[in-house]
């Protein structure tokens, strides 16, 4: 509350005045009612979509604070904890969004046909808040799929397009993550380079496994190890063809955080990476789930927004990932007992302060 502002007196705020229920509950106006068509399920269709838009609003509200916290240099522990908390909330909302499709699927394809023709060319494709959400997470126009050469802002009003373009200019959460990862301390210092230490550990681990494969004359296993050794080149000798979205330094820092996550200083950074993966996974699940529901409702017909429908949506589920680099890191993990030991100085600095002071 603004300092000095007077709180409302008894009875001045009621449940419905506070929640503006008169406005919210008068915003369901089925086209079928207006035109006198019998289509009972159009109300459900409207309510479900409106509920999504409210949740998108909440997610964007969470992102406002997360992104403002992430814009700080450095991001202090207190802000980091708050960011992880908000991202966890976003994940819970997205899970609810996936579950909500179950309710919509109680409408049969035949019931949908009662009013589908009344929707004209309107489509979820035109949801500005959904575009802002994807864009602010980090789905840039260069990675977006187009259909029929149409960009996602093609049917937007001027005001919507301005908001969308502003989100595109950024900063995006993915961009902020990358900048933050590149500032991660400990990864490379004067006397220590994680990349070198990790590469030596991988080479030693693969050599041990190769010896074992030679002993038992397992040619298949030996070939698999050769392939594994070549695959590791994607992090040790990064090049543009390696297919990472983030820069090599950012990927390296994310790997460092992941493998040494048990150290107290890395608990929150690791929780942050986990929360972003949860969100990416939930978005992909929603896209898959929505595509399946669309197939169930309209089969292979094209969408009211003009796309190929199910086919276009399934491709977005595969290709519109934002934090897939973090998932890909698992390819390059090695067992705990093969991990290179950290220099004592770094180990000490990544411990709890009181524990580190006792050790001195």
Calculate the alpha carbon distances from 151 to 156, 250, 298 in Å: 10, 30, 23
Residue with tokens 């603004």: 2
**Residues numbered 44-63 forming contacts with ligand HEM, rule: CB under 6 A:** 48-49, 52
Give me the phi and psi of 188, to 5 degrees please: -140, 125
With binding defined as CB under 6 A, does residue 127 bind ligand HEM? Answer: yes
Please, what is the minimum distance in Å from the beta carbon of residue 224 to ligand HEM?
Answer: 37
Please, what is the minimum distance in Å from the beta carbon of residue 155 to ligand HEM?
Answer: 10
With binding defined as CB under 6 A, does residue 238 bind ligand HEM? Answer: no
User: Which x/- pattern, by CB under 6 A, does the window 299-328 give for ligand HEM?
Assistant: ----xxxxx-x--xx--x------------
Indicate the burial class of 34 (C-beta count within 10 angstroms; 0-12, 13-18, 19 or more): exposed
With binding defined as CB under 6 A, does residue 32 bind ligand HEM? Answer: no
The residue within the footprint of ligand HEM, chosen from 115, 125, 244, 260 (CB under 6 A), is 125
Prior bond of 332 cis (ω within 30°):
no
- Considering only the stretches 34-42, 188-196, 298-306, 324-332, report the one whose residues sit in contact with ligand HEM under the rule CB under 6 A: 298-306
Tokens at residue 347, please? 């180990």
Please, what is the minimum distance in Å from the beta carbon of residue 35 to ligand HEM?
Answer: 19
Please, what is the minimum distance in Å from the beta carbon of residue 243 to ligand HEM?
Answer: 21
Q: Which residues pair with 188 in a beta bridge?
A: 193
The residue within the footprint of ligand HEM, chosen from 112, 186, 244, 256 (CB under 6 A), is 112
Please, what is the minimum distance in Å from the beta carbon of residue 311 to ligand HEM?
Answer: 10
Give me the phi and psi of 150, to 5 degrees please: -90, 130
- Nearer Cβ to ligand HEM, position 48 or 93? 48
- Nearer Cβ to ligand HEM, position 274 or 306? 306
Name every residue whose Cβ is closer than 8 Å to that of residue 200 and which is 6 or more positions away in sequence.
340
Please, what is the minimum distance in Å from the beta carbon of residue 219 to ligand HEM?
Answer: 46
Residue with tokens 């109680």: 106
Name every residue whose Cβ is closer than 8 Å to that of residue 322 and which is 6 or more positions away in sequence.
134, 137, 138, 139, 173, 174, 245, 280, 283
Angle (CA) 103-115-154 rounded to 5° is 90
Long-range CB contacts (within 8 A, 24+) of 228-234: 229/202, 229/203, 231/331, 231/332, 232/199, 232/202, 232/332, 234/331, 234/332
Tokens at residue 9, please? 């007196």
The residue within the footprint of ligand HEM, chosen from 63, 80, 104, 235 (CB under 6 A), is 104
- Nearer Cβ to ligand HEM, position 16 or 141? 141
Name every residue whose Cβ is closer than 8 Å to that of residue 238 and which is 6 or more positions away in sequence.
244, 248, 251
Angstrom distance (rounded) from CA 70 to CA 291: 33
User: Which x/- pattern, by CB under 6 A, does the window 151-190 give for ligand HEM?
Assistant: ----------------------------------------
- Nearer Cβ to ligand HEM, position 251 or 291? 291
Please, what is the minimum distance in Å from the beta carbon of residue 317 to ligand HEM?
Answer: 8
Please, what is the minimum distance in Å from the beta carbon of residue 299 to ligand HEM?
Answer: 10
With binding defined as CB under 6 A, does residue 130 bind ligand HEM? Answer: yes
Q: Is 193 helix (H, G, I), strand (E, B) or coil?
A: strand
With binding defined as CB under 6 A, does residue 124 bind ligand HEM? Answer: yes
Interface residues with ligand HEM (CB under 6 A) are 48-49, 52, 104, 112, 123-125, 127, 130, 290, 294, 297-298, 303-307, 309, 312-313, 316
């Amino acid at each position: 509350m603004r300092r000095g502002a007077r709180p409302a007196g008894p009875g001045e705020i009621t449940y419905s005045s506070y929640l503006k229920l008169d406005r919210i509950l008068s915003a369901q106006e089925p086209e079928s009612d207006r035109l006198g068509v019998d289509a009972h399920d159009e109300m459900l269709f409207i309510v479900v979509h409106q509920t999504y838009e409210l949740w998108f609003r909440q997610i964007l509200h969470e992102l406002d604070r997360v992104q403002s916290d992430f814009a700080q240099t450095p991001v202090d522990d207190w802000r980091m904890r708050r960011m992880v908390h908000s991202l966890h909330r976003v994940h819970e909302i997205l899970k609810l969004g996936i579950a909500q499709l179950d309710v919509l699927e109680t409408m049969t394809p035949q019931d949908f046909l009662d009013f589908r023709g009344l929707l004209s060319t309107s489509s979820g494709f035109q949801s500005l808040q959904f575009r802002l959400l994807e864009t602010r997470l980090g789905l840039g126009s260069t990675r977006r799929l187009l259909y029929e050469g149409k960009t996602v802002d093609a049917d937007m009003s001027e005001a919507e397009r301005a908001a969308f373009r502003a989100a595109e200019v950024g900063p995006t959460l993915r961009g902020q993550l990358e900048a933050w990862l590149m500032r991660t301390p400990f990864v490379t210092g004067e006397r220590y380079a994680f990349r070198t230490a990790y590469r030596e550990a991988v080479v030693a681990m693969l050599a041990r496994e190769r010896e074992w494969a030679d002993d038992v004359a397992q040619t298949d296993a030996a070939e698999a190890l050769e392939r594994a050794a070549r695959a590791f080149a994607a992090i040790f000798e990064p090049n543009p063809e390696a297919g990472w979205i983030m820069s090599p330094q950012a990927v390296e820092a994310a790997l460092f955080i992941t493998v040494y996550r048990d150290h107290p200083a890395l608990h929150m950074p690791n929780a942050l990476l986990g929360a972003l993966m949860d969100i990416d996974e939930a978005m992909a699940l929603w896209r898959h789930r929505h595509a399946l529901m669309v197939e169930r409702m309209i089969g292979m017909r094209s969408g009211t927004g003009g796309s190929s429908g199910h086919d276009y949506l399934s491709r977005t589920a595969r290709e519109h990932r934002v934090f897939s680099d973090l998932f890909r890191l698992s390819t390059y993990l090695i067992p705990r007992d093969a991990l290179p030991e950290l220099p004592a100085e770094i180990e000490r600095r990544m411990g709890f302060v009181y524990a580190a002071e006792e050790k001195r």
